[in-house]
Amino acid sequence: MSDVASPTGLTDVQDVAGGDHTLIVSSRLMMGANTTLQLTFLFTFFYLRANNFGGMWHPSGVSAPPEVLALVALLVPIVALLALWAVSRAIAQGTTSINGLLWLALAFVVLTGAVRILMMYQFGWDLQNGTYIDISTVWYGVLLAEFIMVGLWVLSLVMGHIRGTSPITAAQARTVAEQWSYITVVSFAVYALTEFVT
């Protein structure tokens, strides 16, 4: 049986506020859950590819994602990512005038969504034409949804900060940048997979 001890020397506190720690821990947990989801699609990709039932994995005539547009769709979130990390670093250093960076980040976040929607539209894939197209479409769709969700988070932080109702904290800036980085890296991996492992 453990001995009773108070590490603070106090006998009680008014509340235990997790605060920044809660946000950071939760963000990492969310990444863990997201990793399982991505691994689900990865497993599906290789399972269907390896079995190639009826030769219907990648029937001839089906093209991989268009390279130029796909590269643009990959580069735009990187710019957003750099802006988000710049915001995070500025807040950590105590800089107060970060509105310009915030707008820049938001602009590229919005552009990311637009370019990826355009990219999916440009695929012109027929969903009934093999499982390579099925899994690729679903995967790109899920990543788009994730970019949009993190984008909405960025929007809420920017709006709160710009309007002065809820200034961004260092933990918020860091976690949103981490989430965006995570999805950007996954989108790179997915692109490489669907482009080169057909």
Partner 1 sequence: MDAVAPARPPIDSRPTMARRLNDWGLLLGVIGSIVGFLVGWAIGSVAIAYSFGADNSLGSDPGILLGYSLSVVGFLAGMGFLNYPIGRLMGRPKASEEDNAYLHGEGGGISRYFRMTTDHKVIGLQYLVMILAFLFIGGLGAMFIRAELLTPSPTVATPQSYLTLVGLHSTLMIFMASAAIIGPFGNYFVPIMIGSRNMAFPRLEALTFWLLPPAGLILLSTVFLGGFTTGWTGYAPLSDQNVAGMDSYLMAFALIGLSIGLSGLNMIATIITKRAPGMPLTRMPIFVWGVFVTSFLGLLAAPALIGAVLMETIDRSFQTTFYVPAGGGSPFLWENLFWFFGHPEVYIFMIPAFGIVMEMLPVFTRRPLWGYRVSIAGMAGIGLLSFTVWQHHLFVSGLAPSLRPFYMFSTELISVPTGIVYLVALGSMWRARTRFSTPMLYIGAFFFNFLIGGFTGVFLSDVPSDFTLHASYFVQAHFHYTIMGAEVFALMAAIVYFLPKMTGFTMDTKLLKFQFWAVFLTFNGTFISLICVGILGMTRRTISYASYLQPLNVSASVFAFGLGTSMALFLGILIWEAVIKRTRAVDNPWESLGVEWQVPTPVPVFNFDRVPTAWSLPYDYDTGKPATDLGSVTPALSGA
Residues making contact with partner 1 (CB under 8 A) = 1-8, 10-19, 21-22, 25-26, 29-30, 32-34, 36-37, 39-41, 43-44, 47-48, 51-57, 127-128, 130-131, 134-135, 137-138, 142, 152, 155-156, 159-160, 162-163, 165-166
For 84, residues 6+ apart whose C-beta sits below 8 A from its C-beta are 105, 154, 173, 176, 177, 180
CB of 183 to partner 1, least distance (A): 14
Q: Least distance to partner 1 from the beta carbon of 190, Å?
A: 14
The nearest distance, CB 71 to partner 1, in angstroms, is: 27
**Cβ proximity to partner 1, 75 vs 152, nearer residue:** 152
Both tokens of 112, joined, read 């990311």
Nearer to partner 1, 85 or 125 (CB): 125
Neighbours of 24 (CB within 10 A): 16
List the structure tokens of 15: 């509340």
Query: What is the nearest approach in angstroms of partner 1 to the Cβ of residue 16?
Result: 5
What residue has token string 């994995």? 57
Instruction: Kindly tell me which of 59 and 67 has the beta carbon lying closer to partner 1.
Output: 59
SS (HEC) of 159-192: HHHHCCCCCCCHHHHHHHHHHHHHHHHHHHHHHH
- Name the minimum Å distance from CB 40 to partner 1: 4
CA distance between the termini of the chain:
59
Contact 173, 84 (CB under 8 A): yes
Residue 63 has a CB neighbour count (10 Å cut-off) of 11
Which lies closer to partner 1 via its Cβ, residue 36 or residue 97? 36
Q: Is 97 or 128 the residue whose CB approaches partner 1 more closely? A: 128
